[in-house]
Chains A and B, each alone.
Chain A
Amino acid sequence: MPKAKTPVAETATVADASTDEDFALHSLQAALDADKRYEPSKEELLHFYEQMLLIRRFEEKAGQLYGLGLIGGFCHLYIGQEAVAVGLQSALDGSKDSVITGYRDHGHMLAYGIDPKVIMAELTGREAGISKGKGGSMHMFSVEHRFYGGHGIVGAQVSLGAGLAFAHKYREDGGVAMAYFGDGAANQGQVYESFNMAALWKLPIIFVIENNGYAMGTAVKRGSAETHFHRRGTAFRIPGMSVDGMDVLEVRKAAEVALEYVRGGNGPVLMELNTYRYRGHSMSDPAKYRSREEVQDVREKRDPIEHAKAELMGMGVTEESLKELDKRVRSQVAQSADFAENSPEPVASELYTDVLVESY
Chain B
Amino acid sequence: MAIELKMPALSPTMEEGKLAKWLVKEGDEVSSGDILAEIETDKATMEFESIDEGVVGKILVAEGTEGVKVGTVIAVLAGEGEDASSVEAPAAKAEESAEAPQSGEKPAEDKKPAESGTANLHSDIKTPRGPEVPHGTNMKTSTVRDALRDAMAEEMRRDDRVFVMGEEVAEYQGAYKVTQGLLAEFGPTRVIDTPITEYGFAGIGTGAAMGGLRPVIEFMTFNFAMQAIDHIINSAAKTNYMSGGQMRCPIVFRGPNGAASRVGAQHSQNYGPWYANVPGLVVIAPYDASDAKGLLKAAIRSDDPVVFLENELIYGRSFELPELDDHVLPIGKARVMREGKDVTIVSYSIGVGLALEAAETLAEEGLDVEVIDLRTLRPLDKETVLASLAKTNRLVVAEEGFPVCSIASEISAICMEEGFDDLDAPVVRVCNEDVPLPYAANLEKLALIDAKRVVEAVKKVCYR
Contact = CB atoms under 8 A, between A and B. Distances in A.
6 contacts: A131-B243, A167-B211, A170-B189, A190-B200, A354-B240, A356-B379
Interface stretch (A19-27, A81-89, A157-165, A333-341): A157-165
Interface in B213-253: 213, 230-231, 234-235, 239-248, 250
B331 A360 contact: yes
Interface string B65-76: 000000000000
Which DSSP category, helix, strand, loop or mixed, fits chain A's interface? mixed
Given A162-B200, A357-B304, 16 more contacts: A130-B244, A135-B242, A143-B246, A151-B235, A156-B231, A156-B234, A159-B206, A160-B206, A163-B207, A163-B209, A166-B208, A170-B189, A193-B203, A194-B200, A356-B379, A360-B330
Contacts of B235: 151, 153, 156, 160
* CB-CB nearest 10 A-B residue pairs: A163-B207, A159-B203, A193-B200, A360-B332, A167-B211, A132-B244, A160-B207, A354-B245, A357-B303, A139-B242
Interface in A159-205: 159-168, 170-171, 177, 189-190, 193-194, 196-197, 200
Contacts of B332: 360
Nearest to A148: B210
B205 interface: yes
B120 interface: no
B284 to A, nearest CB: 10
Contacts of A135: 242-244
Given A148-B247, A190-B199, A197-B200, A358 B207 contact: no
Contact of B194 (A134, A160, A197): A197
A224 interface: no
A225 interface: no
B377 to A, nearest CB: 12
B176 interface: no
Given A153-B234, A190-B200, A354-B244, A196 B195 contact: yes
A155 B89 CA distance: 64
B445 to A, nearest CB: 37
Interface of B: 163, 189, 194-195, 197, 199-213, 230-231, 234-235, 239-248, 250, 279-280, 282, 302-304, 330-333, 376, 379
A149 B239 contact: yes
Given A160-B206, A358-B304, A197 B246 contact: no
Contacts of B205: 163
Contacts of B239: 141, 149
A244 B379 CA distance: 51
Contacts of A161: 207
A175 to B, nearest CB: 9
B199 A189 contact: yes
Nearest to A201: B192
A140 B243 CA distance: 6
Contacts of B210: 148, 160, 163-164
Contacts of A101: none
Interface of A: 98, 100, 129-135, 139-143, 148-153, 156, 158-168, 170-171, 177, 189-190, 193-194, 196-197, 200, 353-358, 360
B230 A153 contact: yes
Nearest to B333: A360
A194 B234 CA distance: 17
B244 A193 contact: no
A303 to B, nearest CB: 33
A155 to B, nearest CB: 9
Nearest to B330: A360
Contacts of B201: 193, 197
Contacts of A162: 200, 203-204, 207
Nearest to B251: A163
Nearest to B241: A354
Contacts of A98: 211
A309 B201 CA distance: 44
A170 B282 contact: no
Contacts of A134: 241-244
Given A196-B195, A357-B248, A167 B230 contact: no
B195 A197 contact: yes
A206 to B, nearest CB: 14
Nearest to B332: A360
A131 B163 CA distance: 29
A168 B211 contact: yes
A360 B240 CA distance: 16
Given A156-B234, A190-B199, A200-B195, A353 B245 contact: yes
Nearest to A188: B199
Contacts of A143: 243, 246-247
B440 to A, nearest CB: 34
A258 to B, nearest CB: 19
Nearest to B198: A193
A183 B207 CA distance: 22
Contacts of B197: 193, 196-197
Contacts of B280: 355-356
A141 B243 contact: yes
B303 A170 contact: no
Q: Name the residue among A135, A160, A170, A354 with the largest chain B CB count within 10 angstroms.
A: A160
A149 B163 contact: no
Nearest to A144: B246
A167 B213 contact: yes
Contacts of A170: 163, 189, 208, 213
B240 A355 contact: yes
Given A153-B235, A168-B211, A357-B303, A159 B204 contact: yes
B248 A360 contact: no
Contact of A163 (B206, B242, B248): B206
Contacts of A354: 240-241, 243-245
A167 B207 contact: yes
A134 B376 CA distance: 27
Contacts of A197: 194-195, 197, 200-201, 204
A156 B238 CA distance: 13
Nearest to A147: B247
Given A163-B208, A196-B197, A197-B197, A356 B244 contact: no
A254 to B, nearest CB: 24
Contacts of A133: 244
A196 B163 CA distance: 20
A48 B209 CA distance: 33
A74 B234 CA distance: 17
B375 to A, nearest CB: 11
B304 A356 contact: yes
